[in-house]
Structure 1
Amino acid sequence: MLDEVQRNLVQRYIILTLVRQALEKDFNTLQASSLFCQESLHSFLTERMHEVGREIGALQRALRKQQLTIKKEKNDGFFTKYSYYFKGYEGTFSLLNARLKHDALTYMKRHLFKLETKQ
């Protein structure tokens, strides 16, 4: 069973991978479009992707140190199922997709775009 610290590492890792996927999708959409201020948006998204990448790297090192691996299993539209492996033990948990989306958006607003959010 995971303790609170390990559970927080897992949740942060999952949220940050979702944030990275969203930024990459936005980046690819931006490259395919022709906007007036495309260069500044391009550099903004690139900086944010690097920022998220550095944080994911730090989380991966912390997870390796804890001997903890995470694997996304399936997404049924409402829930996403994840498996974790910890020192020979295996477990699964499901997270509500709406909650994942909310947490990823909250992270982006607070940390990447420096916006205040209401709790």
Structure 2
Amino acid sequence: MTKIPENERNIIEQAIYLPMLLTVLQRDLSAVEKSLIKLKKPYQHWIENTIRNVQKELAEVKRYLHKNNIRVERMKSDEAFTMYLFLYKGYEEHCNYFNPRLRNKVEELMCLYLSTSSPS
């Protein structure tokens, strides 16, 4: 049984998903810059604005974790699972995440952030 309340678990999971989302967005930005698209700037600005929004959110998550003495560490991964260690108020909890679940959650967040980011 987990000792971590659901609201704090959601914040902890953001500390996992948001860095992954930033990596994807930065790779996509690089792909747009190298692509044969005629008008790259609107796409670049859209992705850059989304990156800034994700970075702001991640900074808030990190502040919250630091303030509440919560740590998240990636332990190990294989083809199917990635294990994380959560240090929460003196408790250690090991959690395995199914890699397709991580990818799907990052994709879901990407859709959310891209739809709320203004391209200007």
Indicate whether the TM-score tops 0.5.
yes
Q: What do the CA deviations read for 1:38-97 (whole angstroms, capped 9, x no partner)?
A: 111111110000000000001111111110011112220111111122234322111111
> 2:60, 2:45 → 1: CA distance?
23
Match of 1:104 among 82, 103, 106: 106
> 1:71, 1:31 → 2: CA distance?
33
In structure 1, the residue corresponding to 2:87 is in which secondary structure? strand
Range moving further from structure 2, 96-105 or 31-40: 31-40
Q: How far 1:10 sits from its partner (Å)?
A: 1.0
| Gaps in structure 1 of 5+ consecutive residues | 115-119
In structure 2, the residue corresponding to 1:77 is in which secondary structure? coil
Given the alignment of the two structures, is residue 74 of structure 1 paired with residue 76 of structure 2, yes or no? yes
Match of 1:37 in 2: 39
> 1:32, 1:83 → 2: CA distance?
37
In structure 1, the residue corresponding to 2:31 is in which secondary structure? helix
Match of 2:94 among 88, 92, 100: 92
> 1:101, 1:88 → 2: CA distance?
30
Given the alignment of the two structures, is residue 53 of structure 1 paired with residue 55 of structure 2, yes or no? yes
AA aligned opposite 2:15: Y
> 2:52, 2:67 → 1: CA distance?
23
- Aligned pairs, how many? 114
Report 1 or 2 for greater relative contact order, CA contacts < 8 Å, sequence distance ≥ 6.
2
RMSD value, Cα: 1.5
| Gaps in structure 2 of 5+ consecutive residues | none
TM-score by length of 1: 0.85
